[in-house]
Amino acid sequence: MTTYNEFYRRSIEEPDAFWTEQSALIDWQQPFDRVCDYDRPPFAKWFVGGRTNLCHNAVDRHLEARGDQAALVAVSSETGGETTFTYRDLHAEVQTMAAIIRSLGVTSGDRVLIYMPMIPEAVFAMLACARIGAVHSVVFGGFASASLASRIDDAKPSLIVSADAGSRGGRIIAYKPLLDEALELASIAPPKVLIVDRGLAEAPLRAGRDVAYAVLRKLFLGASVPCVWLESNAPSYTLYTSGTTGTPKAVQRDTGGYAVALAASMKHIFRGAPGKTFFCTSDIGWVVGHSYIVYGPLVAGMTTILYEGLPTKPDAGIWWRLVEAYGVSGMFSSPTAIRVMKQHENEPIFDYDLSSLENLFLAGEPLDAPTAEWIADALGKPIIDNYWQTESGWPILTLANGVEQKGTKFGSPGLPMYGYGVRLIDEAGEEITEAGRKGLIVIDGPLPPGCIQTVADDDARFVATYWSTMEGRHVYSTFDWGVRDEDGYYFLLGRADDVINTAGHRLGTREIEESILGHSNVAEVAVVGVGDALKGQVAVAFVTVKDPRAIAGAEGAARQRQDILKRVERTLGAIARPAEVHFVAALPKTRSGKLLRRTIQAICEGRDPGNITTIEDPGVLQAIAEAVHPPAPAGRR
């Protein structure tokens, strides 16, 4: 049996042979004649000359062996709908959508912007674009008009596909008015807009521009649209990185390398297999949704679940009901979602048959040990952390248990994945080889298949942003700090731009958060660096607690605050002690579950928090502001 160390070593030292073997996991219409072209660093081309198609690999190639197997299960706890599409059904729906898109003037190489909720038609649109060789750019549903307009201007789409509305927590989010306003703000207007009307909100069509999906679907039902075979390095999609400021930054992905990377990851990392069911709780607006709701599971011949709704509606057991109902074998979620679920730990949320579940994978932000231990105990299943980025497209650090079973270390996402030459460097750019010393996580070029090709339409920005960390050496910066232990496991310490510089000391916010999370009454915590006239920056912590009774009254809150501060001092030293600890009922998060640390920081510093349209509950920001800047008592100024 091959050990993972041998598997990894071969991927780094013999990449051509290694990736040639992995390339056999997908179909090629024409074989490639060169595995990797790295003649122009840092730009890498994989499987040069080979021709393939993402939609063929995700749908068509499974028709003969598993045409009647469930391919896509669409579940909405918002509307109560559950619909199953077999591979044969999916094949028909995607061809119909492809015919519609072509009828609206889109051809191979054109860009299509998709602004949709978590509904089947969104998946049909993505696969239809891949089928005809168009480049899709999915924008997270519900983005504010100004943000959407900037992405329209950047993508210059030939078509926009959208919907009347989405729904979140019972609240209707009308997309069409946001889209109409965005098109007024944008300097570039696509000739056509395709609207899927769910009947949730009014969506009047603008004559000459907007067309109804339902009308065209009747017209093109039963259409036959062949796959357009693309050279491996033709772009498959662009995706805007979350949290960008200024000009949007569109990560551009290739076709063949991405298909190979996903097929390999489903086998080696996620332990998927044809006929099994995968449930990724992310959103198609993020890279996790692209890779592990849509393309990855389907390329692997699995059933994939598309879920619209909250993890706590109608109750906190909804996800586990779906695991039982559909025999989910692999589940992928986020640490934040599990922390939300933990707040319902006294409810019977796990009272389902979870025997089919083999692994729970968590990513999106660092997984703290207390959260990992709680869900591991609750499920009795392996919990696999994994770390990656929009830019990488698939995990950089995790465990490849499909190659060799490795032990989980809670608090660590794991080991470098095959193909990634992961290093740690210090502030002087020197490589760190000893265990336990903090450094910046970088990756040697070329990046493996499936990773970012470039920033769309801006090669110079791609080089300047990611490849300028070490002069004279092509290394990709992840912008994340980490340490490596003696077994080679990596531990994340926070973003390079989330480091607090206090009185000449550099502190990772993640280190402080980990310490505070170890307190028995702490449910969640966010630590931010706030400007200070004396020290440059100080750490400020925002904490939610498990038992609010412990902080009832001034004395209780003061006692709990001191307990937390003493814990930080004991584990990290006095220099890491937060200047303030604020107790709040909830932390601000996006609808995909990410903590808005920079928004909290802006509020603390009295700055404009910027775009908050993706926040789950805007009222949380007011509570944060009042905690930082308490209103004056009545009668006083």
Q: Which of 68, 10, 75 is nearest to 309 (CA)?
A: 75
Outline where 241-342 has alpha helix (H): 256-268, 287-289, 296-299, 318-326, 335-342
The amino acid at residue 231 is E
Let me know if 314 is exposed, middle or buried by CB neighbors in 10 A (0-12, 13-18, 19+). Answer: exposed
Show the beta-strand stretches assigned E in 390-467.
Answer: 397-398, 415-416, 421-425, 439-444, 454-455
Contacts of 341 (CB under 8 A, 6+ apart): 311, 312, 316, 349, 375
Q: Say yes or no to pLDDT of 575 above 80.
A: no
Q: Say yes or no to pLDDT of 636 above 90.
A: no
Outline where 195-308 has alpha helix (H): 213-220, 256-268, 287-289, 296-299
Q: What are phi and psi of 180, to 5 degrees?
A: -60, -45
Bridge partners, residue 73, by sequence: 84, 305
Work out the percent of the chain whose per-residue pLDDT is above 70. 95
- The C-alpha atoms of residue 122 and residue 263 are separated, in whole angstroms, by 22
pLDDT-derived band of residue 501, with 50, 70 and 90 as boundaries?
low
Q: Say yes or no to pLDDT of 379 above 90.
A: yes
- The C-alpha atoms of residue 405 and residue 399 are separated, in whole angstroms, by 8
- The C-alpha atoms of residue 636 and residue 47 are separated, in whole angstroms, by 71
Range 135-143 average pLDDT:
89
Q: Is 237 helix (H, G, I), strand (E, B) or coil?
A: strand
- pLDDT at residue number 241: 83
pLDDT-derived band of residue 506, with 50, 70 and 90 as boundaries?
low
Sequence spans of domains, the chain: 4-309+386-480, 508-628
Q: Is 265 helix (H, G, I), strand (E, B) or coil?
A: helix
Q: What is the pLDDT of residues 446-467, one digit of tens each?
A: 999 999 999 999 999 999 999 9
Q: Which of 393, 226, 403, 362 is nearest to 295 (CA)?
A: 393
- pLDDT at residue number 243: 40
pLDDT-derived band of residue 608, with 50, 70 and 90 as boundaries?
confident
pLDDT-derived band of residue 499, with 50, 70 and 90 as boundaries?
low
Query: How many H-runs (helices) and E-runs (strands) does the chain carry?
Result: 20, 32
For 508-628, CATH number? 3.30.300.30
Q: Is the model more confident about 253 or about 143?
A: 253
- pLDDT at residue number 632: 63
Range 20-36 average pLDDT:
98
Q: Is the model more confident about 514 or about 266?
A: 266
Half-sphere exposure of 606 (CA within 13 A, CB side): 3
Over the chain, what is the mean pLDDT? 92
What homologous superfamily does CATH list for 4-309+386-480?
ANL, N-terminal domain (3.40.50.12780)
Q: Which single residue is written with the structure tokens 């640390």?
A: 597
Q: Say yes or no to pLDDT of 231 above 90.
A: yes
Range 30-55 average pLDDT:
98
Q: Which single residue is written with the structure tokens 């509305």?
A: 165
- pLDDT at residue number 606: 87
Picking from 22-31, 50-59, 124-133, 470-479, which range would have the lowest pLDDT averaged per residue?
470-479
- The C-alpha atoms of residue 69 and residue 5 are separated, in whole angstroms, by 36
- pLDDT at residue number 495: 73
- pLDDT at residue number 301: 98
Q: What is the pLDDT of residues 238-257, one digit of tens each?
A: 999 854 345 678 999 999 99
Q: What's the whole-model pTM score?
A: 0.85
pLDDT-derived band of residue 195, with 50, 70 and 90 as boundaries?
very high
What b-and-e string marks burial along 370-393, b requiring 16 or more CB atoms within 10 Å of the CB? bbbebbeebbeebbbbbbbbbbbb
Range 406-434 average pLDDT:
93
The amino acid at residue 251 is V
Q: Is 42 helix (H, G, I), strand (E, B) or coil?
A: coil
pLDDT-derived band of residue 612, with 50, 70 and 90 as boundaries?
low
- The C-alpha atoms of residue 404 and residue 416 are separated, in whole angstroms, by 14
Q: What is the pLDDT of residues 320-345, one digit of tens each?
A: 999 999 999 999 999 888 988 988 98
Picking from 7-21, 31-45, 120-134, 504-518, which range would have the lowest pLDDT averaged per residue?
504-518
Picking from 5-9, 297-301, 595-599, which range would have the lowest pLDDT averaged per residue?
595-599
